[in-house]
Amino acid sequence: MSSTPHVTRATSDGAAWLASAGTYPRSTLALWRERPDAPLVLPCGTAFDVISAPAVFGRRMLDRLWDDGPGSGPVAVVRGRTLLFAAPGTAQRLPSLMAWEEWGSQRADAVPSLLCHGTGDAVTVPALDSGDSPATGGCRWLVAPDTRHPWLPGPEVMLWAAVRAARAAVRISIFPRADQDAKVYDVSRRR
């Protein structure tokens, strides 16, 4: 049972924060007032960065953030991917941290590649009130923005969540697989 909050509707403060990412925040808010069910494309890099993971792995990361960690910022599901909103600069720093952690050297199905969207990138964000309506096409908030200044995890927290999610998905060993027909002796207790 996950302790992830079930906030699927963005508040007016959350909408103002999202709109602040764009060049014309008042126009964005006016559009959302006219069509609150419309998803929008917003630029990354000023108010937030976005880490995009395959849906199942992203959900595992979200569970780790809420069950064992400090929580998360806003989180959305768009086109089969989980979008985890992070502090500005995370998209630039996270790839080098993942390389240092030797991310991707393990089994590819347990450790998927993460897409980092930062300065110069844009992402589709769900409608303010996406809910579970089929009209949204699977574009919805898992954790909607509800404050004007939400807490956003940085690159270290995102790396921590990704590593924990990968470990939960599969047992990762530093030892190579033993030959199935080989006789293996436990020498760890030997003096």
- Give 99 or 118, the one with higher predicted confidence: 118
pLDDT for the residue 129: 80
- Alpha helices, DSSP H only, in 25-146? 25-34, 55-67, 90-100
pLDDT for the residue 180: 59
Query: In whole angstroms, how far apart are CA 97 and each of 43, 56, 64, 187?
Result: 23, 22, 18, 35
Instruction: Please write the tens of the pLDDT for every residue from 52-68.
Output: 999 999 999 999 999 98
- Give 189 or 99, the one with higher predicted confidence: 99
- Distance (Å, rounded) from C-alpha 8 to C-alpha 167? 28
Mean per-residue pLDDT of the chain:
84
Is the CB of residue 42 less than 8 Å from the CB of residue 21? yes
Instruction: Please write the tens of the pLDDT for every residue from 3-19.
Output: 656 567 889 999 999 99
Q: Is the pTM of this model over 0.85?
A: no
Burial of 132 (0-12, 13-18, 19+ CB in 10 A): exposed
- Distance (Å, rounded) from C-alpha 87 to C-alpha 120? 15
Tokens coding 167 = 């470990």
Instruction: Please write the tens of the pLDDT for every residue from 117-169.
Output: 999 999 999 998 866 555 556 799 999 999 999 999 999 999 999 999 988 76
- Distance (Å, rounded) from C-alpha 76 to C-alpha 126? 7
Query: In whole angstroms, how far apart are CA 135 and each of 17, 38, 129?
Result: 25, 10, 12
pLDDT of 107 strictly over 60: no
Q: Which residues does residue 125 pair with via DSSP β-bridges, in sequence order?
A: 40
Count of all residues that appear for the chain in the document: 191
